[in-house]
Chain A
Amino acid sequence: MSPNSSALSLCGISKHYRRGLLARRVEVLGGLDLELAPGARLGLVGPNGAGKSTCLRIAAGVEPASSGSVAVFGRPPRELEPRRRTGFLPDGAPFPGELTARACLELCAGIQGLRGAGARGTCGRMLERVGLASVRGRLASFSQGMLRRFALAQAFVCEPDLLLLDEPTAGLDAEGHVVLEELLAEAHARGTALVLCSHHLDEVLAWTDEISVLAGGTLHARAELEIDSGAARLEIEGLDEPAFAELEQWIAGRGGRITARSPTTRALLSVYAELGEGER
């Protein structure tokens, strides 16, 4: 791998399937170009059927592109070396239901090259983090939320250099949301590159540095998110009702007005998480 190679490079990627009795051609991606530098965080948004999941599966080497070239850290994703450095969270819950969470996580980690007593410890800690350490049943008996937590564990357990996450919060409860946020923060601190597909724009805004909009199989826009340091916009957390009324009055007195007011997601999540702790 050359030192300057991208974490992920998609060049002119197209993908089509054959459907139905007459093998009708259905184009999912058409000439998609995408570059992701090591450590960069990209959010991929778009309507249903835009090709986000297909794009991630191609990047992960799960399925080949119909045309175009894909490189993960400068190598084709079908090679083993880039795969060792990639963590993929697929859509849905396709994991083998015959296994327990621990057995399946150790299997996933083992395939990625994490073996032995150290691997068992790492897997145990990861299961602890996602709240599945004490769950004994097989994956087939897991709820959707538990499966999503497991999906998080298998994607992050080997501390990959590239994370490809497809709707990571789908079916995830608030506590799991917090865990995901922590895992993403740690991965970012390690310099892990991230592609995050989601329908939830607030998640993408919170966890990525740039956003691409995918629709009809091509990228329509890509924008870097910048924190506006001017005085035009202000976000404030933690005010109670009387304090808020006072602030609103103060702003109105100076010719301004409050255009939007909503409980912060973070604050809600904290309350939810505390409630969950209390129940246990």
Chain B
Amino acid sequence: MSSVLRVERGLLLLALRRMFPLPVVAATLLVAAGFALAHPASVSAPIRRETTWTALALVALPLALHAAASLGRRWRLGDRAWLGSRAVSRGTVALSAWLGTWIGAIALFGGIALLAEVGREDGGARRRLRALESPRAALVEPGARTAWSAGELGDGEGLLLHLALGTAPGSGPTATIRATCTRGAESSTAEALVFGRSSIEVEVPRGHGEVRIEVAKPGPGCTVVLAPGALSLHVAEDRAGLASFELFLRWVLFVGAWTALAMGIGAWMRASVATALALAAALPVLGAGRGAAWLPGADLATALAEAGDGLIPPHAPVIALFGFAVLALSGIALAARGLDAGAGDAA
């Protein structure tokens, strides 16, 4: 078998076309219209963004995986008869077909991104950069305070420390909290009224050196609780819609890797079984968390939750590109081998 690998435009377009049969296009437009027309004013923009992404992406994902898994079956049932004798390697067939499916999926998820942002005012927002260490503490008495070092955070415009706080049940309705951020001789302070689950943001002074943070309850009020992981570093951004862009990039990598694997599995078995297997393997990845950063889409659940909180998720980790390449190439190789594996079963 020749090892020549290239992208065959015609095969790519054929796969793209097969990704969107008429019933799928009609159903997609119907769902999209429903989401675009529904604008309940009581639902906040971040919640709507999170809901749109969660609902539609979980519909689009099996669709994309099934389209990819079906390519193997199509090959066995017909394509091999007309394409198998042509001057094109199986690797090229698999690569081109996957690219077509992936581009189709990108279009699908791009549509979801547009729907998630349509009709929303695109004001300022915060991008979550990373989590910082914070102590476990409870501010009980008036004048109670706790202070710790957030380390060297680097210099940058619009850096903010975001502290999530909660009130202890039964200790009272509210309390005023003051947060002070100090870097060298510079400091900045913010005050907020805390009730239930609240947060407070304080600017990080420009410059270099260790950043210290102090949280105090200057007056009377309920008990305020700090949990480990409550502190994170944010940066101010001009456009809240960037949240959808970050989610879109994550889905693109995730669906790219898993459509390749679904296509690879589908070349060896029935499309429905291959789709089920690919879904069963892919869905747990969505919640794997940032610990498995090399897996594309591992932090999608976290990123969706952040978007729901009105934050812009951090940029997807670069190492996810490596994971994406490994998974995609494995799927393409599996598919290229699988296209020939069924030859002995042909009638």
Contacts and interface: CB of A to CB of B under 8 A. Distances in A.
A199 interface: no
Given A18-B344, A78-B1, A94 B82 contact: yes
Interface string B45-86: 000000000000000000000000000000000111111111
Nearest first, the 9 A-B pairs at minimum CB distance are A107-B10, A94-B81, A60-B85, A62-B84, A63-B343, A88-B85, A94-B78, A83-B87, A84-B87
Interface in A16-36: 17-18
Interface string A71-92: 0000001111101101010111
Contact of B85 (A18, A64, A86, A107): A86
Nearest to A87: B85
Interface of A: 17-18, 57, 60-64, 66, 77-81, 83-84, 86, 88, 90-92, 94-96, 98-99, 106-108, 110-113, 154, 164
Nearest to A95: B82
Nearest to B344: A17
B87 A110 contact: no
Contacts of B11: 107, 111
B79 A62 contact: no
Interface string B306-340: 00000000000000000000000000000000001
B267 to A, nearest CB: 15
A61 B83 CA distance: 10
22 contacts: A17-B344, A18-B345, A57-B81, A57-B85, A60-B84, A62-B81, A62-B84, A78-B2, A79-B1, A79-B2, A80-B87, A80-B89, A83-B88, A84-B87, A90-B81, A96-B82, A98-B18, A99-B14, A107-B10, A111-B10, A112-B86, A154-B82
Contacts of A95: 78, 82
B343 A111 contact: no
A18 B346 CA distance: 9
B104 to A, nearest CB: 13
A80 B85 contact: no
Contacts of B340: 64
Contacts of B85: 57, 60-62, 77, 83, 86, 88, 90, 164
Contacts of A112: 86-87
B43 interface: no
Interface in B13-32: 14, 17-18
A111 B86 contact: yes
Contact of B81 (A77, A78, A84, A92): A92
B38 interface: no
Nearest to B8: A111
Given A80-B2, A90-B81, A95-B82, A111 B88 contact: yes
Contacts of B79: 94, 96
A108 B82 contact: yes
B9 interface: yes
